[in-house]
Amino acid sequence: MSLAKEITRIVKGKIKFNEPLSKHTSLRIGGPADYWVEPKDLEDLRVILEFALDRHLPWKVLGEGTNILARDRGFRGLIISLRGDCFQKLEFNEEKVAAGAGVLLSKLTSEAGERGLGGLEFAVGIPGTVGGGVVTNAGAQSVSVGDVTSSVKVLNPSRGISLLKKEDLKFDYGETVPFGYRTCNLGKDEVVLEAEMEFKKEDKDEIANLMKEHSRKRKETQPLREASAGCIFKNPSHVSAGELIDKAGLKGRRVGDAQVSTKHANFIINRGGAKAEEVFSLMETVREEVLRKMGIRLEPEIEIIG
């Protein structure tokens, strides 16, 4: 029996074959994934992960694809998306919340704000899911998801479910290269199922005002109407990558439909039909020019898959 037939037989949730990753990344770039699965429930997720392990089938969980550059050739293997209802849990209990991995960070942020729970205001405007936010320790204004996370429930295909408490979790905020940069110490084969976060009771209006202010700043400084993956390069110590790229005179530089944003130099935007190869080529130009003119080597922040 072909792998496709076997997957169809064992999975209860949605399955797609040769699914273009350009439909699932905020850069709108990426060739097809052989198999795309949206597990119906936890058991479905467990079954497909065990299958992938057994068949040595490469797999990857994708959140909203907002920190991803997917190659033009696509992904040879299985992409798992936790969009199903089972991963959308959002349960508030006094100053805590248990949030499913598939919940949008924006939804969690606004619901916490409406309840007068402060702590996540920084996340306004950070796209993506709770799962992606934990894995990338998403943050802004020197605060990040790790600061409010008290535990994370994960599923490992060979070890089952475990609950990682605050003391087991290590979030890196790394403002500097080569130290860890926006990471969490989860293994590559661990799937985040849910995270518990703790907030502080605060004034609703103050939270709303702070969120408005963060949102205003983002709109002012980031090309939010264009397709992008946020910041492309990590910030080297004590200087922002955007500032270096700007000073190197690279704002607006294009390769095909990939362009260094004229609004924020550390964003590469897709002007419509950009290919991953064009983004790579533009990234290489930026790195070479910044190294030549500023003597600083930039490292990618986005994750490349495929």
Residues that bind ligand FAD (CB under 6 A): 26, 60-68, 82, 101, 126-129, 131-133, 135-136, 138-140, 182, 191-192, 222, 224, 228-230, 303
To ligand FAD, the closest distance from the beta carbon of 227 in angstroms equals 8
- Measured from the CB atom, is 140 or 294 closer to ligand FAD? 140
> What phi and psi, each to the nearest 5 degrees, are found at residue 277?
-60, -35
To ligand FAD, the closest distance from the beta carbon of 14 in angstroms equals 17
Residue identified by tokens 């661990």 is: 190
In this structure, are residues 248 and 293 in contact, taking their beta carbons and an 8 Å threshold?
A: yes
- Measured from the CB atom, is 136 or 151 closer to ligand FAD? 136
**Cα(38)–Cα(18) distance, integer angstroms:** 14
- Measured from the CB atom, is 39 or 127 closer to ligand FAD? 127
> What phi and psi, each to the nearest 5 degrees, are found at residue 287?
-65, -45
DSSP assignment of 236-267, as one string?
PTTS-HHHHHHHTT-TT-EETTEEE-SS-TTB
DSSP state of 231: B
- Measured from the CB atom, is 22 or 129 closer to ligand FAD? 129
In this structure, are residues 301 and 174 in contact, taking their beta carbons and an 8 Å threshold?
A: no
To ligand FAD, the closest distance from the beta carbon of 293 in angstroms equals 26
**Cα(92)–Cα(3) distance, integer angstroms:** 41
- Measured from the CB atom, is 84 or 127 closer to ligand FAD? 127
To ligand FAD, the closest distance from the beta carbon of 74 in angstroms equals 16
Within 13 Å, how many C-alpha atoms sit on residue 274's CB side?
30
Kindly give, in sequence order, each residue whose CB lies less than 8 Å from that of residue 67, ignoring residues fewer than 6 positions away.
Answer: 128, 132, 136, 229, 230, 301, 302, 303
To ligand FAD, the closest distance from the beta carbon of 228 in angstroms equals 5
To ligand FAD, the closest distance from the beta carbon of 295 in angstroms equals 27
CA 128 to chain centre: 6
> What phi and psi, each to the nearest 5 degrees, are found at residue 293?
-85, -30
**SS3 call for 58:** coil
- Measured from the CB atom, is 214 or 253 closer to ligand FAD? 214
- Measured from the CB atom, is 42 or 291 closer to ligand FAD? 42
In this structure, are residues 273 and 72 in contact, taking their beta carbons and an 8 Å threshold?
A: no
To ligand FAD, the closest distance from the beta carbon of 11 in angstroms equals 17
